[in-house]
Amino acid sequence: MKKIINSPNVPAPVGPYNQAVLLNGTLFASGQIAIHPPTGELITSSIEEETHQVMKNIGEVLKAADMTYDDIVKASVFVKDMHMYSRINAVYAEYFNDEIAPARELVEVANLPKFVNIEISVIAGK
């Protein structure tokens, strides 16, 4: 059975989608950008801060599904500038245990919603 997951601690969707869908123990989470939920403002002062906010938003979606970062099995990372790879990777790595880190791709794209520098979506399972 499909269950819709939406957390009040994450920016509300701005289109015809939900923050995540849970299906048979697998969570498919929509992409998150660095919107600070209490203020609605974008966090773009540095790619490090932007990446941390994206990961915090993902954490809240996971929490709403009774999951943690350790439950992520696949991450899709979209970036505006591949030259930021090492800086993004350093922050991203803080959220995972190397032994059980998820599969991942990181791709450069022309533009992202609200012209941010990074968007990440995940698949998690228990």
Q: What is the pLDDT of residues 3-24, one digit of tens each?
A: 999 999 999 998 899 999 999 9
Hey, is 62 helix, strand or coil?
helix
The number of domains in the chain is 1
Give the residue numbers spanning the domain of 55. 2-125
- What pLDDT is attached to residue 111? 96
- What pLDDT is attached to residue 124? 98
25 pLDDT above the threshold of 90: yes
Compute how many other C-beta atoms are within 10 angstroms of the C-beta atom of residue 59. 18
For residue 59, give Cα distances in angstroms to 14, 16, 52, 124.
19, 22, 10, 11
- What pLDDT is attached to residue 78? 98
pLDDT confidence of 122, banded at 50, 70, 90?
very high
Locate tokens 């970062």: which residue?
A: 69
Q: Provide the 8-state DSSP code for 93.
A: H
Reference 46, options 120, 116, 109; nearest CA is 116
Q: Where residue 45 sits, what CATH number does that domain have?
A: 3.30.1330.40
**Cβ distance 31 to 116 under 8 Å?**
no
Reference 26, options 6, 7, 2; nearest CA is 2
Q: What is the pLDDT of residues 42-101, one digit of tens each?
A: 999 999 999 999 999 999 999 999 999 999 999 999 999 999 999 999 999 999 998 999
Reference 85, options 103, 104, 102, 107; nearest CA is 107
